[in-house]
Structure 1
Amino acid sequence: MNPSVKQARAGLTLVALIGLAITTGPASAQDSADELAKKLSNPVASLISIPLQYNADFGYGSEDGTRHTLNIQPVIPASISEDWNLISRIIVPVIYQDDIAGKSGSQFGLGDINPTFFFSPKQPTKGGITWGVGPVFLLPTASDDLLGPDQWGAGPSVLVLTETHGWTIGVLANHIWSVAGSSNDPDISNTFLQPFFAKHLPGGRTLTFNAESTYDWENQQWTVPINVTYSKVTRVGSQMMSFAGGVRGYADAPTGGPDWGLRFVVTFLVPPK
């Protein structure tokens, strides 16, 4: 695809998503910091959130390359019936990377956008299980060939979690197959598996452990980053926000993959009125 066309498409999509995010308005005062922290650990909660998630990964390949990624990832629930919600989760990556594949130079721009839509019951099951299911997509919006393949992708996604004794425990999984795209780029068949454990502490604080694992079926390779993050919900003026920071190590990665990384997140919270 012509690079200028890819950049234009990526830019228009990014502008539209940022516009949606900044029009959500300030948070309601009715939710306490502890309640908001619990909802933030639940990907299908009735809570509009706009995380700005910065990731830095170090130690790529022979040149000790680095990748910096800012994920803009609004989560927007909508009531579609008396009993069901539709939760839209969109990940928009903005990437700067340098020598991640030997002496490959630096690239900066938009990566591939990854929207997921969960249909989820408004009330947990009698056993206290919250779940959601729906489609996941991969949009080839990368502004550079080294920031993402020119492939359209789609597949199923599922989420199951429970809240017990101050913990939120669950798993998010999806699988994406190539459905269209350039014949010059390799096909995609990736399984994503993210178990997560969040311990809620007084004062809107949360300690979270997760493994954002991906299995590449085409290359028969796992990538398994294990993240440990600490977050705090607080009020800044009239806006409720969450601030988080943490580290990750890689239990498994492709040859030449990263060794370790950092994560910092600022999240704007908009509880329903």
Structure 2
Amino acid sequence: MRRTFALTVLFLSTLCSLSFAQDDAAELAKKLANPIASLVSVPFQNNTDYGIGEMRGTRNTMNFQPVLPISLNKDWNVITRIVAPYVTQYNVTGFGEKQSGLSDAVMSAFFSPKNSEKLTWGVGPAFLLPIATNDYLATKKFGVGPTAVALKQANGWTLGALVNQLWSVAGNEDRPDVSQMFVQPFLVYNWKSGAGLGANMEFTQNWKASTTTLWLNPTISAVTALGKQKTQFVIGPRFNLAAPDGGKADWGWRAVVIFLFPK
């Protein structure tokens, strides 16, 4: 593990040293630390988790997470984000059993002022979209609720939190209703090279089932250019601090590739 971590740090450091203006890298890294920055990006976030439950299952989740900012007028932006997961899991619902397919997606729209000197913030609606292609990965419910994000950036540091609450309002009557809160505090430090060190926590509370899931995700990152394509790479371990009975994972890892399209 130590050797793998050292090689990862070396790899990301090499990326940062490629032909890419330092000022541009620093500015892009700062925007990427801000979930509601005015920056078009297309992240692919892969999470692999091991030792899930009594059957020591494995789950891989690839999240497709495009971000599209829209200028409403001279004072306001709306930042649209969608998280569409593709899940493949083994030995989670039963020994020798496998499920794969799209899970339900969450789409958010943050209305955010363009000029916020001290605190960057955004609020808006969030939607649960029942697009799952596998019954085990589906709620079969359409949901809606509020979402908000607030953060402070200074001297390379970004500190903030994102939250949403979703309630089901339509869908399959044979499936349980949805009432779920998601909270994600985050902390990132970015150097002028575009390299970064950070962590977030992902807290999910299922009010209907009275269950809590909590992940801690420390990461290292680098901004570079692959040819003309500006890109960020992120990698780090995942630690499952809390989960519903029988569903806790031993550990996992996260790897992210983000394609950037600055104006």
After TM superposition, the score normalised by the length of structure 2 is 0.89
Taking the aligned partners of 2:80 and 2:22, their CA distance within structure 1 comes to 23
Paired residue type of 1:264: A
Taking the aligned partners of 2:144 and 2:95, their CA distance within structure 1 comes to 32
Contact 1:174 1:191 in 2 (8 A): yes
1:266 has 2:252 as partner: no
Q: 1:207 to 1:201 in 2, by over 3 A?
A: same
Paired residue type of 1:242: Q
Which runs of no fewer than 5 residues in structure 1 stay unpaired? 1-28
User: Does the residue aligned with 1:219 lie in a helix, a strand or coil?
Assistant: coil
Identity of aligned residues (%): 48
1:49 has 2:41 as partner: yes
Find the counterpart in structure 2 of residue 93 from structure 1.
Answer: 85
Within the candidate set 45, 65, 68, 1:73 is matched to: 65
Taking the aligned partners of 1:47 and 1:133, their CA distance within structure 2 comes to 17
Within the candidate set 141, 155, 158, 1:151 is matched to: 141
Taking the aligned partners of 1:135 and 1:229, their CA distance within structure 2 comes to 28
C-alpha deviation, 1:31, in angstroms:
6.5
Q: 1:31 to 1:201 in 2, by over 3 A?
A: closer
User: Does the residue aligned with 1:32 lie in a helix, a strand or coil?
Assistant: helix
Paired residue type of 2:210: Q
1:219 has 2:201 as partner: no
Find the counterpart in structure 2 of residue 24 from structure 1.
Answer: none
Q: Considering only aligned residues, what root-mean-square deviation do their CA atoms show, in Å?
A: 1.6
What does 1:6-155 correspond to in 2, within 5 Å?
A: 32-103=24-95, 105-125=97-117, 128-155=118-145
Residue by residue over 1:233-259, the C-alpha shift from the partner in whole angstroms, topping out at 9 and shown as x without a partner, is 001000100011011112211112222
Which runs of no fewer than 5 residues in structure 2 stay unpaired? 1-20
Within the candidate set 241, 244, 249, 2:239 is matched to: 249
Paired residue type of 1:54: N
Paired residue type of 1:197: L
- Please list every run of at least 4 consecutive aligned residues from structure 1 whose deviation after the TM superposition is greater than 3 angstroms: none
After TM superposition, the score normalised by the length of structure 1 is 0.86
Paired residue type of 2:85: P
C-alpha deviation, 1:102, in angstroms:
3.0
Contact 1:61 1:102 in 2 (8 A): no
